[in-house]
Structure 1
Amino acid sequence: MEAEALKELLIKAGRYTSKYEKTSKEVGEKLLTWSDGEIRPSEIEQIIDQLKSEKFIDEERYAERYVRDKLVMLKKGPILIRYELKERGVPSALIQKALNAVPYDDWFSALKAYLMPKLARYKSKAKNEYDLRMKLIDAAYRRGYPSDVYEEVIDGLEL
């Protein structure tokens, strides 16, 4: 690909990453789309390396913000967040570091806040206490929480 076209792609990628945090994988996919597949892998790597050196792409920062946002806004658990970050191409070590930065109490509080509104709704539909407990466990599991967290939260709720 010619130097001028690469420069245009670099500028476009810079604008793309300055609006919202992006991973290398997401930027690479966009570069392929924008170039109609004409860009070589080495050229993609070159553009991504330059964006990383200028801090347009910082996957550690991305992982930390992603974990915080998904925990606070959507009350997602660590299992689901780990999966989503892997899908976005974030290295496992950075995912683990970002998840470890969140205290256990924050996971506990988020799950409790997520389950409280469901408790009232499920109480009216559940056949018995066991059924209610299973519905809450299912909701916590689907949200990506490990059993040690959801067991403790559900044990603390008044079923």
Structure 2
Amino acid sequence: MMRMKPFTKEEAYNWAATRCALKEYCRMELAQKFMQRGLSRPDCEDVLEQLEQEGFVDEARYARAFVHDKTLYDHWGRMKTRQALAVKNISNEHIEQALATIDEEEYRQILRKLLLTKTPTIKAATDYERAQKLLRFAAGRGFEADLVFRVMGED
């Protein structure tokens, strides 16, 4: 495997600014990439600070975009999304603000569609067994149990 040349501070900044102009990144993702390319921790922090000051990196904006994409496109529930953001060291404040942007009716429709799509594929001897399997499926996607019960009760 060919080793890449280590980043200088300027190269790291230019590389990150180019990518951040195209897609949202959080501090942790960029720090990992910088460290993989041999940038020292103090230089990494300096570059990240500069990127934040210039608006290339914004944890709140990242959290909002992440929540939007994971909810609408990947059909993740709030719990799974919250955990994924926490793993990326996003602050609880930013996580909660981003999760608050989810439209409740749209969220219910996403869950309803997931359950309707999954139901025919489940092999179960009883309705109770089918409901348990649907609940586990939805919980694995990060949806809240009380919401799953309410949506399942609507049918």
How many angstroms does 1:34 deviate by?
1.4
Q: Distance in 2 between matches of 1:117 and 1:132?
A: 13
Q: Distance in 2 between matches of 1:105 and 1:149?
A: 12
Moved >4 Å (runs of 4+): none
Counterpart residue type for residue 102 of structure 1? I
TM-score (ref. length: structure 1): 0.88
Q: Distance in 2 between matches of 1:75 and 1:30?
A: 28
**Match of residue 89 from structure 2:** 89
User: Does the CA-based 8 Å contact 1:112-1:153 persist in structure 2?
Assistant: yes
Which of the two has greater helix per residue? 1
Structure 2 stretches of 5 or more lacking a match? 1-6
Q: 1:146 aligns with which of 136, 144, 147?
A: 144
TM-score (ref. length: structure 2): 0.90
Structure 1 stretches of 5 or more lacking a match? none
Deviation per CA, 1:11-53: give whole Å up to 9, x if none.
1121232232100011111111112xxx332221111111111
Note the aligned Cα RMSD (angstroms).
1.5
Counterpart residue type for residue 29 of structure 2? E
How many angstroms does 1:64 deviate by?
0.7
**Match of residue 30 from structure 1:** 33
Counterpart residue type for residue 69 of structure 1? D
User: Does the CA-based 8 Å contact 1:13-1:31 persist in structure 2?
Assistant: no
Counterpart residue type for residue 58 of structure 2? D
The size of the alignment, in residue pairs, is 149
Percent identity of paired positions between Structure 1 and Structure 2: 25
How many angstroms does 1:117 deviate by?
1.0
User: Does the CA-based 8 Å contact 1:108-1:153 persist in structure 2?
Assistant: yes
Q: Distance in 2 between matches of 1:5 and 1:69?
A: 33
User: Does the CA-based 8 Å contact 2:9-2:44 persist in structure 1?
Assistant: no
Deviation per CA, 1:132-155: give whole Å up to 9, x if none.
111110111101011121111111
Q: Distance in 1 between matches of 2:146 and 2:116?
A: 18
Q: Distance in 2 between matches of 1:85 and 1:47?
A: 22
Equivalences for residues 1-159 of structure 1 within 5 A: 5-35=8-38, 39-122=39-122, 125-157=123-155
